[in-house]
Chains A and B, each alone.
Chain A
Amino acid sequence: MSKKMQTKTDTNRKKMAVTVCLTIVSVIYVMPLLMVLMNSFKNNRYIKTEAFSLPTGDMFVGMGNYIKGMTFGNYPFMKSVAFSLIITIVSTFLILLCTSMAAWYVARVNSLFCKICYYLFVFSMVVPFQMVMYTLSKTADSLDLNTPFTIPIIYLGFGAGLASFMFVGFVKSLPLEIEEAAAIDGCGPLRTFFLVVLPMLKPTMISVGILEIMWIWNDYLLPYLVLDRKKYMTIPIHIQYLQGSYGSVDLGAIMALIVVSIIPIIVFYMSCQKYIIKGVAAGAVKG
């Protein structure tokens, strides 16, 4: 009996030790973000030499970096944020709507053309962006798809592979009987899709939506090559542009902008964390 007690406290102690270790690792994990936050309140001159000290006394500049960052480099940062938001929301919406419809068609009709489409979708998932980047940006230019309002079509085209693949896999697992019942009740294909199939696709919708949002919001190269850069920037392009185009970079302002650009991500993560982790895992296993 006492021996059993002994081992029990032993495992408890071990568990405590592991928890403490993990806590330390987590703190180290969060450190980089805390450092960015800390340095965003620090005078530019001290960031390089005193990156690890708290912004006290002379170093502290209050919101100065934020004010400077917003108007830095003759392009207002808020404009980039707005374009990032527009591109992400419109593209994700377009991808979810169009590829789910296409996937239903491909899964249900299953003609030769549909099979070819399906294999092309799968094939496109293994093609790295560098393979098509030059020709894609030229094509987009010649078709006038180089604005934030038309670039979602490019995103739909390049992102169709993974999204359709995930949707087709899910549609194939849905029982056909429900759609047959709808057809008997007099539903045309459009009503069958929007009233019967779409509600059933919800879990996959969430997974695909999250994957697309994360991809498009953080994407740098595609919008950089496709968009008309004098008029339109997104957040990653803006940050890269500030860092790359000035001899002496204002690190303070950049840290402030990084904080501003991370906040929406953290809010998004905290509000739908469960779905994000699930969606990402689903995408990984299938892709």
Chain B
Amino acid sequence: MKENNKLDVKVTNSSMVTRPIRRCFPIFLLPTFAAFFIGFIYPFLKGIYLSFCKFVTTSNATFIGFDNYIKAFNDASFRHAFGYTALYAVVSLVLINLIAFLLAYLLTQGLKGTNIFRTVFFMPNLIGGIVLGYIWSMIFNGILSRYNTSILLETKYGFWGLVVLMCWQQIGYMMIIYIAGLQSVPGDLMEAAVIDGASRWQTLIHVTLPNVMPSITICMFLSLTNGFKLFDQNLALTGGQPFKFMADGTQIRTTEMLALNIYNTFYGQAASAKGVAQAKAVLFFILVAAISLIQLKATKSKEVQQ
């Protein structure tokens, strides 16, 4: 009886809060929803529709089925951009996470000046991609001009240049996440390991690492999606140069990544390629969404284990 009463009160109380709010829909939810509709829902749905169309402007689109997708798959520059992006994403993922973890580990050892180091390492993360690209193109060209070459002349310079640039930008960011993870490892676990006679290395492998696994998963996927979505830095550092001309007259921008390839297909080439560009954008979306879904699964299963 008492239990019942309590429940009743709770229901009336919460509807006491809810009902007046519900009436205020135009003030609370409508502005955001309207903007969200203009800025996301409508462009997204229209984008999917247009990927099945041939069009020059959005108003005169004609439905052509899967043609755009077939063209996108047959586009050598798109396939090259995919391979290049995947290679870059994996290389940068490994380097960024290794260095960031090392720095985070060193910075949680109670050294003097930890705060200053943290401040310095995090700073490049605040600078925008375009500016970063020009800063580093100046530096790389300063080095390479001594050997009478430039970052725009060789694919491998462009690749490693981008890796160095992104390491500089992202290491501090991942380091912050790793520091948070390392600080949440229970101190008594560490003490127990020391009492049991574990060496520093053994403690790291068997006690610390399993406990920071959630942070590692987050950082891995963050750097992977960042790698795939990279645009500004790619545009500013090399803009896809050097170009390679194929036998059939098409050209491949050898340092062009997926996002830039889509952009160039939209705005660079013939107006008739816009449908193909939109199809590429849909494929790109599916790829990024798939990575995010896998991440969701990975973090969920980790949570169950704990």
B182 at the interface (CB under 8 A from A): no
Q: Which residues of B contact A36 (CB under 8 A)?
A: 135, 138
Chain B residues near A280 (CB-CB < 8 A) = 125, 173, 176
Q: Is A54 an interface residue (CB 8 A)?
A: no
Q: How far is the CA of A202 from the CA of B128 in the complex (A)?
A: 26
B78 beta carbon closer than 8 Å to chain A: no
Tell me if B's interface is mostly helix, strand, loop or mixed: helix
List the A side residues contacting B50 at CB < 8 Å. 134-135
Q: Known contacts A35-B139, A36-B135, A48-B141; is A236 also within 8 Å of B35 by CB?
A: no
Instruction: Indicate whether A160 sits within 8 Å of B139 (C-beta atoms), given known contacts A276-B126, A281-B180.
Output: no
* Interface size, chain A (Cβ < 8 Å): 100
Interface residue tally on B, bucketed by range:
35 or more
Secondary structure dominating the interface of A: helix
A160 to B41 alpha-carbon distance, docked (Å): 11
A32-B168, A117-B33, A157-B35 as given contacts; A51 in contact with B218, CB under 8 Å? no
Interchain CB contact under 8 A, A236 and B44: no
B58 and A138 within 8 A (CB): yes
Name which residue of chain A comes closest to B219, CB basis. Answer: A284
Of listed B31, B109, B173, residue having the most chain A CB within 10 A:
B31
Interface residues of A in 210-230 (CB under 8 A from B): 214, 217-221
Q: In the complex, what residue of chain A is closest to B119 when comparing beta carbons?
A: A273
Measured CA separation A32–B135 after assembly (Å): 7
**CB-defined contacts of A126 to chain B, threshold 8 Å:** 288-289, 292-293
Would you list 27 pairs from A and B whose C-beta atoms are within 8 A, ordered by A residue?
A29-B121, A35-B135, A35-B142, A47-B142, A98-B35, A105-B21, A105-B24, A108-B17, A109-B18, A109-B21, A109-B22, A127-B288, A128-B229, A128-B259, A130-B263, A133-B266, A134-B266, A136-B43, A139-B38, A143-B38, A158-B39, A176-B17, A183-B16, A189-B20, A218-B126, A218-B130, A221-B232
Please give 8 more A-B residue pairs, beta carbons under 8 A apart, in addition to A157-B40, A281-B176, A285-B180: A29-B121, A47-B138, A101-B32, A130-B284, A138-B58, A180-B14, A189-B21, A280-B173
